[in-house]
Amino acid sequence: MKTSHLGSGAQAGDLPVPLNIDRSWLDNLESRLDKGGPWGDFRLFQLAVQGEEARLVTSFDELQCVKHLQDLSPLPHQIDTARRVLFEMSGRAILADEVGLGKTIEAGLILKEYMVRGLVSKVLILVPASLVLQWVRELNSKFGIPAVAQKKAYSWHSDVVVASMDTAKREPHKDMLMEQEYDMLIIDEAHKLKNKKTTNYQFIQKLRKKYCLLLTATPVQNDMSELFNLITLLKPGQLGRQGDFAANFVVGKRQAKNEDQLRDELAKVMIRNRRGEGPVQFTKRTVRNVSLQLSPEEQALYDGVTSFVKNQYKASGGNLSSMLSLVTLQREVCSSRDAVFLTLVNLSKKIPDDSPLTAEVWELVNAIRNIKANTKAEKTIELIKDMNEKVIVFTEYRATQEYLLQYFQKHGLSCVPYRGGMNRGKKDWMMDLFRGRAQVMIATEAGGEGINLQFCHHMINFDLPWNPMRVEQRIGRVHRLGQQNDVKIYNLSTTGTIEEHILNLLHEKINMFETVIGGLDVILERFEKQESFEKSLYKLFLESESDEEIRSKVSSLGQSLDLIKREIEYEDAETVIEEEA
């Protein structure tokens, strides 16, 4: 292609910007004149011009993409987000909507807009391996963007490639990507890029990119400096130098100061739509807590494990960090004997044979042997048969999942598993099976990320995670945009166990199942200024002597959460008043 580049100053009265003139048309015309053709049809000539006219971008700041979409009507907050990213943030932004508000749709809109405008053609999209095919499918079907999943080395040459971060950062892929220039880079689940020292972070920092979107539902998980790192990836210096940032905005690890100023600065690079806001309507959630009585054998195991864990905690002198596997044990005993058994076996392998602990562990194993039935599983079957519709059962433990699969199948329920360790193809297959044939899906927490199950509106929490955000994520799989029905949530809990207290805390105190709490993350963030929520719970249980003590401690924990919630509501109300004034 012959181009003549006229720099400024070539002629007086020239343009104030560089002008590129593409003259290939003249070569083309001359060579056809020499050869006497071939000449085009005038109707096609006109059609080509009409086509150009029809997709001409006649304005710098008007969203084009929506009219290009056939099978998608984006929601107002999604269109608004796209507009802001394009015209206020110049295409570099963190999309941090809460779970279920359609971050993928927003990213798709932005990408489509840039492609329609001819500003982007080469695109790299990095997502967790489990989401690769879903992204490809959505971009193709909803946006008509010809995205391909990276499978072989040559896939990198396609214009729009979706790949997993883990693949991309490895050799030989890494070198190939470093040589490229990407008009746009999109990263899903970007909160994994919070640590500057990781290879992921450094890899992304080195990639050459023009526009960049980072998608995450949880921009701040633990630490203010994580947020700083995320933004530095996008626009270094937006929050000042590292030192300035620490001095201006950070008090404690999780505590910000000058919050208004920080919020203003953040608003320049980050968009966070919340569930409680705007015209987005969600269906209702109804919750039923199913209280169960453990069988005497199960109760014996529970008591045995509890006293074993407590004794160990005392023996360790209150050192929580060495207790993690034991705390797990305490949680597993509320789920299934299978889960406990596995952990016990692993534990016994670690302790020396002559230790007195071995005997204690084996005693517990014997207690497991005595258990003939799983009270919770029996109840679950009963529930599922009553509702007679599709239902997703969540458990935290792989062993429980295996057990339930067998147990349900034995009772004639068609069910499929879903877990984080499955490869992409299998996950997709499981989703399709669940949609088409199976009545029940049994998912472990790892499988929670990124699966969309709008077609199902029953959900059973076989056991509960101790982290409220994870509970919210579970619910978010089902209770999201596109859900037509009210969502029914069943929580199983056994009386007289810590589970009862946890459920009490989450349900009664935070009321997290029924109301969609937009600001759950904010509440937790504030609470966790002192200590992580889960850790507080561990301590509380390990250090309490009686059920009564636990009850009162849980209730005071609940109160402090409630206090924070009101504080935030009050502040919000105040800002509204200020804005109105």
Partner 1 sequence: MSLSPQEVQKQVLTYLETTECSIIEKSPYHVTVKLSPQADKQLTNRPYYWGFIERTGAEPETLSYTFVFDPDQYNEQTAKTPPPSAPPQPQDSILSRYFGVNPAGPRIGPGRIPREDVTYGSSRLQQIWAVARQEGSCVYLFEQPGPLQRETLFSAPYEPWLGVCFKVEMTCDVKKEALHFIGISLVTGQIDPQFARRLETLQLGPRLPENIHIQPGSLSLAGAANLLEKHMKDHLAGEDYAWAEAARERLREELAVIDMYYEDLLKETEEEKLTAIREQYDNRRSEMTWQYEPKVNLSAITCGLFHLRSIRL
Q: Angle at the Cα of 19 (from 15 to 25), degrees rounded to 5?
A: 135
Residues 186, 157: Cα–Cα separation, whole Å:
17
Please say which residue, 132 or 212, places its beta carbon nearer to partner 1: 212
Counting contacts by CB under 8 A, is residue 199 touching partner 1? no
* Contact in structure between 487 and 387 (CB atoms under 8 Å): no
Scanning 76-84, 90-98, 304-312, 571-579 for contacts with partner 1 by CB under 8 A, the matching segment is 90-98
For partner 1, the closer CB: 185 or 220:
185
If binding is defined by CB under 8 A, does position 351 make contact with partner 1? Answer: no
Q: Which uninterrupted H or E stretch holds 208?
A: strand 208-215
Using CB under 8 A as the binding rule, whether residue 577 contacts partner 1 is answered as no
Give alpha helix (H) positions in 55-125: 76-87, 103-116
Q: How many residues does the chain have?
A: 581
Hey, is 503 helix, strand or coil?
helix
Confirm or reject binding of residue 195 to partner 1 (CB under 8 A): no
Q: First CA to last CA across the chain, in angstroms?
A: 61
Nearest Cα residue to 478 out of 465, 460, 494, 464: 460
**Angle at which helices 242-249 and 259-267 cross, to 10°:** 130
Compare residues 211 and 462 and give the one whose CB is closer to partner 1. 211
Q: Would you count residue 296 as binding partner 1 (CB under 8 A)?
A: no
Q: Does 197 bind partner 1 (CB under 8 A)?
A: no
Q: Pick the binder of partner 1 from 74, 91, 219, 448 (CB under 8 A).
A: 91
Token output for 260: 């208004």
Q: According to the binding rule CB under 8 A, does residue 205 interact with partner 1?
A: yes
The dihedral over CA atoms of 105, 447, 270, 70, expressed in degrees to the nearest 10, equals 0
Among 2, 23, 284, 435, binds partner 1 (CB under 8 A): 23
Among residues 32, 253, 435, 566, the one that binds partner 1 under rule CB under 8 A: 32
Toward partner 1, which CB reaches closer, 228 or 490? 228
x-or-dash pattern for partner 1, window 107-146, by CB under 8 A? ----------xxx------------------------x-x
Q: Using CB under 8 A, which residues numbered 160 to 189 contact partner 1? A: 181
Q: How far is the CB of 238 from partner 1 (least distance, A)?
A: 6
Please list every residue from 359 through 388 that binds partner 1, using CB under 8 A. none
CA-nearest of 191, 262, 275 to 233 is: 191
In angstroms, the Cα distances linking 105 to 75, 81, 419, 524 are 9, 10, 25, 27
- Burial (0-12, 13-18, 19+ Cβ within 10 Å), 314: exposed
Output the furthest CA–CA distance in the chain (Å, rounded): 99
Q: What angle do CA 457, 379, 463 make, to 5 degrees?
A: 65
Q: Which of 208, 314, 385, 411 binds partner 1 (CB under 8 A)?
A: 208
Q: How many CB atoms lie within 10 A of CB 235?
A: 16
Site string for partner 1, 463-482 (x = CB under 8 A): --------------------
Q: Which stretch binds partner 1 (CB under 8 A): 208-216, 435-443, 523-531, 544-552?
A: 208-216
33 binds partner 1 (CB under 8 A): yes
Supply φ then ψ for residue 515, to 5 degrees: -85, 145
2 binds partner 1 (CB under 8 A): no
Q: How far is the CB of 55 from partner 1 (least distance, A)?
A: 8
Which residue stretch of 35-43, 129-137, 439-447, 523-531 sits at the interface with partner 1 (rule: CB under 8 A)?
35-43
Q: Near partner 1 by CB under 8 A, which window of 39-47, 403-411, 483-491, 519-527?
A: 39-47
Scan residues 49-68 and list those touching partner 1 (CB under 8 A): 49-61, 67-68
Q: Give whichever of 90 and 293 is closer to partner 1, judged by the CB atom.
A: 90
- Name the minimum Å distance from CB 270 to partner 1: 16
| Contact flag: residue 570 with partner 1 (CB under 8 A) | no
- Cβ–Cβ < 8 Å for 397, 446: no
- Binding segment for partner 1 (CB under 8 A), chosen from 7-15, 193-201, 299-307, 549-557, is 7-15
- Which residues on adjacent β-strands are paired with residue 3? 22
Q: How many CB atoms lie within 10 A of CB 165?
A: 21
Q: Which residue in 192, 196, 240, 522 binds partner 1 (CB under 8 A)?
A: 240
Q: Quick check: 247 binds partner 1 (CB under 8 A)?
A: no
Backbone angles phi, psi at 461, to 5 degrees: -90, 100
Q: How far is the CB of 20 from partner 1 (least distance, A)?
A: 5
Burial group, residue 179, by CB count within 10 angstroms (0-12, 13-18, 19+): exposed
